[in-house]
Each structure stands twice: as structure tokens, then as C-alpha cells.
Structure 1
Amino acid sequence: MKKLLTATAILLATPFAALAGADFVEGDKTFAADAELGATITTGNTETTSLKGRLDMKHELGNWENQYLLEALYKEDSGEETGKRYYGLIQGNYKLNDVSYLFANANHEIDPFTGFDSKSTVSAGYGHKFVDTGKTLFAVEVGPGYQYKRLDDASALAAGDDTEESWVAHGVMNFETEITDSSKFKQLFVADYGDSLEGRSETSITANIIGALAMKFAVVVRYNSEPADDKKSTDTETNMTLLYSF
């Protein structure tokens, strides 16, 4: 845990150290957020519950672009918990110019159904927007990171230790484009490569219903090249949710 705290301090300080002597331009303050919610509940011969919630907030202040993300997923079948995932992310981007920026990122995930009680990752590096027209965005981020995992009891017994720590190479590719005036397509890839390769792909289509209310269809694929014992390498998640922008 001490290594994680040290790595966090180093990685989060790296982009800010590079800003020493840089000019700060005060710009417009803007804030935007998307709140997302989906649920499936059945009763009778089959009793199941599935809930998905997400809050994605973005704040711009001068040269800074900050993101705050919270996600929650819960599934239950006949009174038995079959899925649970909680995820939180904070990222700060400092714009060097219109297309380049430095980023610092910290995220934490709780997903006991993967064999890990929790996973924390911190990273920092350089981002570049190859396309940014207002309607289409294609951006890539790369940099070093550090990952800390806490194993569940069964996985810890098999591994002989209850934690795993490693430096990772962190990469993100984000593509967004407007299909029509009322619909948007997004494709996000996130990868961390260290002692193992872990990746996440999120593909989504959002269609406006009325005003700030929209319908979102998303497919999320998670991959781990070295999963815990008796766990699969790939998890998939398909969601249909309502999304409200404000």
C-alpha cells in the first residue's frame, strides 16, 4: 500500500511539474453532466433485479478540463447476488494547446466477482486530439501508471498473498462522432499493461428522445489476460439506459 501511495504522488505530480513557468489563461468556467439509469425487475416464476447507474461530470476552468465519473452495477437472481461493480474515476487534463494536453488520472474499482475485492490505478502522461471538429473527436492518451489489487480470500489462498502491485503502461483511445443532429456514437478503449494485460472496450449509441432526455445502448467488454483461478478472461455487459444531460 505504501508503494501505491508513493506511486500516486509521483505520477500525479509529474504533469504538474512540467507546468512550472507555464502561462495560465483564465477562460470561461463551464460544467456539464450526464446522469444515466437503467433497471430490469421481474417477479413471479422468475425473480431477477438488475440496476445500472452512472454519473459523468465534466468541468472546464481556464486551461483545465476535469472529469469525475461514478458507476454502479448490481444484479440479483432469486434473492442471490450475482453481480456487483462500483467504479470511480477522477482525471485532470491541462491543455498545452488546442490539441495537446497533460493528464493525471486516479480510479478505483470494487468487483468481487472477478476474484479481486478491489483495484486501484493511478497514471499520468500525454494526450493528443488528432481530430476535434466539435462533431467528431479522436483522442489518444499514453503514460506510465501504477496498479494495486486486493484479492478475495479464495484468490489470496491460491496466490499465497492478498495483494498484487505492479507498474503499468496506460493507454486510452477515445472516438466520438455525431451520426445525426440527435444521435451520437462513441468508442472507448482503455488498456493497462504490466504483469498482465487488462483492457476495457465501451461501444455506445445515444439517441435523443426529447429535450435533454436520451436513450443509450452500450456494450462493455472487459479483458484480463491472467484472471484469478476459475474466472474467465472476458466479461461482457449490455445495457439499455435513460440518459439525462444537464
Structure 2
Amino acid sequence: MFNKLLIGVLLPGAISLPALAGADFIEGDNTFAGEAELGATLTTGNTDTSSLKGRLGLKHELGNWENQYVLEALYKEDTDVVTAERYFAGAQGNYRFDDDDYLFANSNYEQDPFTGYDYKFTAAAGYGHRFVDTGKTIFDVEIGPGYQYQRLDSEQAQLLGYSSDASVVAHGVMNFETEISDSSKFRQLVVADYGDKLEARSETSLTASIIGALAMKFAVVVRYNSEPLEGKKSTDTETNMTLLYAF
């Protein structure tokens, strides 16, 4: 007998740098908002598979300061074999001079054993500018220097003869968001770090409101590494359909 159960439960789990779109803010000097997103699939019977995608994003404003905190987790298993596993944590602080210009500093930590690295740490600082803000459409760009450290797993370290990579990088972000209608929003986010190699992440998403603060989100994530380790591919893609709650 073949049973398939699709679960879309909301828990505190979401990330989105550099901004948390769709969240409403409390008026005043101290503002707080966030997004929680979760999607899960469980299949039993002739095929045993499970997957979990969780994201949590928080945004806190204190005068000219805007602080963002993000967490993300992805886990997939097929017949007791783990086929995907990724964990991410990041934080960013922005100091705004006005509505369009700001300085930023961020750091993030990522674990993805399927890349051949135990973990990756990146930190960057620089200048950000909002080129478009019509109320329904925004376009932000960030650029600045950064530092990246990657720790190889034991297999790759033995194969290559060294245990880590470290380099100075040029860090850039482009974030475009627009309201398609009163109940739907499109977003394109690109984050890139260029040093000894190019590492980039693109997320294209469409969010449609269901009721109140609850929405359905469809997203395609593409990760690119210009110089992957031996036996690894340069491009990873991820397609998600999740429920999202803004608060």
C-alpha cells in the first residue's frame, strides 16, 4: 500500500538576506518583524522519503540601526540515505544615513557536507544603496570587501593535502522586489562572493497571500561555484513550495 502525506506546517523557521519582505512593522523607534516558513514531505510504502525545509528571519530596527538575523535548514532522506543536508545562520547590521544609503556589516556560517567542506564562514562590510522605491517596487544593491574561510572534510583534506581555504573576496548583493497584485509578490535575490573563485546564490520566488499573514511561497534557488572540488558539480538547484507566515 502506498501512502503519501504532504505536510505544510508553520514553525519559526526562515531566512532572507538582505531584507525580510512582506513583514509588517510596528510604528515607533523600536520596530520588530519576522517571517516563518516551513515545508515538509513524507512518503511511505513502496518508497520511503522525507524532506524538511525551514527558515526563520528576524528584523529589528533601533533608530538608524537595522539588524537582521537569519536561520535556515534543509534535510532530505531517501530510503534511510541522506541525499541533502544544509544548515545556515547569518546576521547583518545596517546603519542608515537616510532612506536610500547605508553601511552594512554581516557574517554567516554554513554547513553542507555534500560540497566537500565541513563548514564555510564568510564576513563582509561595505555600502548599500536603494536605487528604486515606489512603494510597490524596491531595488537594493550592496557591495564591499569580505573574507571567506572554508574547512575541508577529512576525505578532501587527505586528497588535496591541505585542510582549509581562506581568501579575501568582493561581496555583492542585488535584491529586487515588486508587488504583482495586492495579494502576490515577486522577488529576485542574488548574493555573490568573488575571490580565488566565484560563489553565487540566486533565489527567485513568488509569494501569494492565502489569508491574513499566511501565504504560499514558490522558490527556485541556484547555487554556483566556479571551482568545485573534484567529483562535485558547479551548480546546485533547489525548488521549494512552502507555507509562509509574516509577523
* TM-score, reference length from structure 2: 0.88
Q: Distance in 1 between matches of 2:85 and 2:155?
A: 18
AA at the equivalent of 2:114: F
Q: Distance in 1 between matches of 2:29 and 2:93?
A: 17
Deviates more, 1:233-242 or 1:130-139: 130-139
Deviation at 1:96, TM superposition (A): 1.2
Q: Distance in 1 between matches of 2:61 and 2:182?
A: 24
**Residue 200 of structure 2 aligns with which residue?**
199
Q: Distance in 2 between matches of 1:169 and 1:60?
A: 27
Deviation at 1:207, TM superposition (A): 0.3
Deviation at 1:133, TM superposition (A): 2.3
Alignment of 1:45-84 (within 5 A): 45-84=46-85
Q: CA RMSD in A?
A: 0.8
Deviation at 1:59, TM superposition (A): 1.0
Q: What secondary structure does 1:161 align onto?
A: coil
**Residue 142 of structure 2 aligns with which residue?**
141
**Residue 120 of structure 1 aligns with which residue?**
121
1:46-65 CA-to-partner distances (Å, cap 9, x unmatched) read 10001000001111111011
**Residue 217 of structure 2 aligns with which residue?**
216
Deviation at 1:33, TM superposition (A): 0.6
**2:30 aligned with 1:43, yes or no?**
no
Deviation at 1:134, TM superposition (A): 2.4
Calculate percent identity across the aligned residue pairs. Answer: 73
Q: What secondary structure does 1:74 align onto?
A: strand
Unaligned residue ranges in structure 1 (runs of 5+): 1-26
**Residue 184 of structure 2 aligns with which residue?**
183
Kindly indicate which of the two structures has a greater share of residues assigned to helix.
Answer: 1
Q: What secondary structure does 1:231 align onto?
A: coil
Unaligned residue ranges in structure 2 (runs of 5+): 1-27
Moved over 4 A (4+): none
1:123-156 CA-to-partner distances (Å, cap 9, x unmatched) read 0000000012221110000000000000111211
Q: Distance in 2 between matches of 1:132 and 1:67?
A: 20
AA at the equivalent of 1:77: D
**Residue 112 of structure 2 aligns with which residue?**
111
Q: Distance in 2 between matches of 1:89 and 1:133?
A: 29
Deviation at 1:82, TM superposition (A): 1.0
* TM-score, reference length from structure 1: 0.88
**Residue 164 of structure 2 aligns with which residue?**
163
Q: Distance in 2 between matches of 1:117 and 1:75?
A: 18
